[in-house]
Amino acid sequence: MASNQTSFYQLNQWEPEDKVLREEFNADNSRVDGALHSLAEEVGARALQTEVDGLKTQLATKAAQSALDSLSASVTAGLAKKYGTDNAYIKAGNYTGDGAATRTISVGFQPSLVMIFSMDCGSVDQNYAFLLGDSSSQVAVSVGWRNKIVSDWLRLTSSGFTLQMPSISFTHFNSEECNYRYFAFR
């Protein structure tokens, strides 16, 4: 019979003079089996929760993108109804960010106002979802931080607009692999 037991699972510890009993081995094996089973269930539950959380995030992103696409289609249809389908006053489009500090988008005319929406960038350095402005002043609306009034993120050109991020280390509105929707008004 074992004269000592371990601290945490009370597994048998034999001294040289102790008689070893089969029942003690079987009891130890049952305790180890139970502890390993509980650990495996906990790890599995945590992995499942992580997967569920990831799916929730993907679903929310897709829902937001769907809502933005619906809004864009509605605005485009409304403008087409009012101004015709060959609308020289507004250009709607989209682009995928490439991560560069400067990005030029051509719309075929010099806009007086540009709106840019981003709904699928969730990391901390891509936290602005909406930019509205002209060459002199822009408003950047944040998803989780503070909103900003800036004057150097957007420059209107004779054929479109250029996004510039020279004063910060982030690439808002041109973050790599993020999708953006814009409306440029003449």
- Each residue of 115-140: pLDDT tens digit? 888 766 655 445 556 676 666 666 66
Q: State residue 132's pLDDT score.
A: 67
**Chosen domain end from 87, 113, 138:** 87
Range of the domain at 160: 89-185
Is the pLDDT reported for residue 86 higher than 50? yes
Is the pLDDT reported for residue 2 higher than 90? no
**Strand spans (E) along the chain:** 4-5, 12-13, 90-96, 102-106, 113-118, 128-133, 138-142, 148-150, 154-157, 160-164, 179-185
* Count of structural domains within the chain: 2
Reported confidence tier of residue 66, pLDDT bands at 50, 70, 90: confident
User: Do 95 and 180 sit in the same domain of this protein?
Assistant: yes
Look at 72 and 23; give whichever has higher pLDDT: 23
Reported confidence tier of residue 78, pLDDT bands at 50, 70, 90: confident
User: Do 73 and 93 sit in the same domain of this protein?
Assistant: no
Give all strands of the β-sheet with 148-150 in edge-to-edge order.
90-96, 179-185, 113-118, 128-133, 138-142, 148-150
**Of 183, 3, 12, 173, residue with least CA distance to 109:** 183
CA distances from 53 to 46, 50, 81, 128 (A): 10, 5, 42, 23
pTM score of the predicted model: 0.50
